[in-house]
Amino acid sequence: MDELDSALVQLLQRDARQTNRELARQLGIAPSTCLERVRSLERRGVIRGYHAEIDTAALNRGVQAFVAVQIRPLSRTVIDSFTEFVAGLPQVVSAFVVAGGDDFLIHVAVQDLDHLHAFLVDRLSRRREIISYRSSVIYQQAHNTVLAALDEP
């Protein structure tokens, strides 16, 4: 991860569909060199994939929320099976196992408030390991699509 790699990573976070020539031009290197760099980043797992960002409204997901969940017992078996269950639900954008008061934080995106309610009641609350949950509707969000590498110290 030298400064050339960092620059590539930054450019590809901003626009993953830039041509290799364009990337090379911005870095001041030959296209063949650039291509080899990108391949290396992919091979080393630094670049995990390239994804289109889609407008949630176009996906008919007008309502988003976070659901904080507590489960018991907090064993690996229960955590893993609950993670698998949650990750398989089409309403779920992402799920986080967290420390602190809550055990899970689930980001969901659904059609409307009715469907959020249905999700909570029909999907989540059916699970016996859940001892409590609390949902927070999202009003606004800001996303940082380009993350820089932080300094070592």
Give me the residues that bind DNA (CB under 7 A), please.
4, 19-22, 29-33, 35-37, 40
Rounded Cα distance between 46 and 2, Å, is 12
Query: Would you say 88 and 39 are in contact if contact means Cβ atoms under 8 Å apart?
Result: no
Nearest approach, Cβ of residue 9 and its own copies (Å): 6
Rounded Cα distance between 75 and 73, Å, is 6
Rounded Cα distance between 54 and 74, Å, is 35
Which of 97, 120, 123, 133 is the binder for its own copies (CB under 8 A)? 97
Long-range (24+ apart) CB contacts under 8 A made by 88-93 are 89/119, 89/123, 91/115, 91/119, 91/123, 93/64
Which of 37, 61, 124, 129 is the binder for its own copies (CB under 8 A)? 61
**Number of amino acids touching its own copies (CB under 8 A):** 67
Q: Which one of 27-35, 48-56, 124-132 is the stretch in contact with its own copies (CB under 8 A)?
A: 48-56
Question: Given the rule CB under 8 A, which residues bind its own copies?
Answer: 1, 9, 12-17, 44-56, 58-61, 65-66, 79, 83, 86-87, 90-102, 105, 109-111, 115, 134-145, 147-152
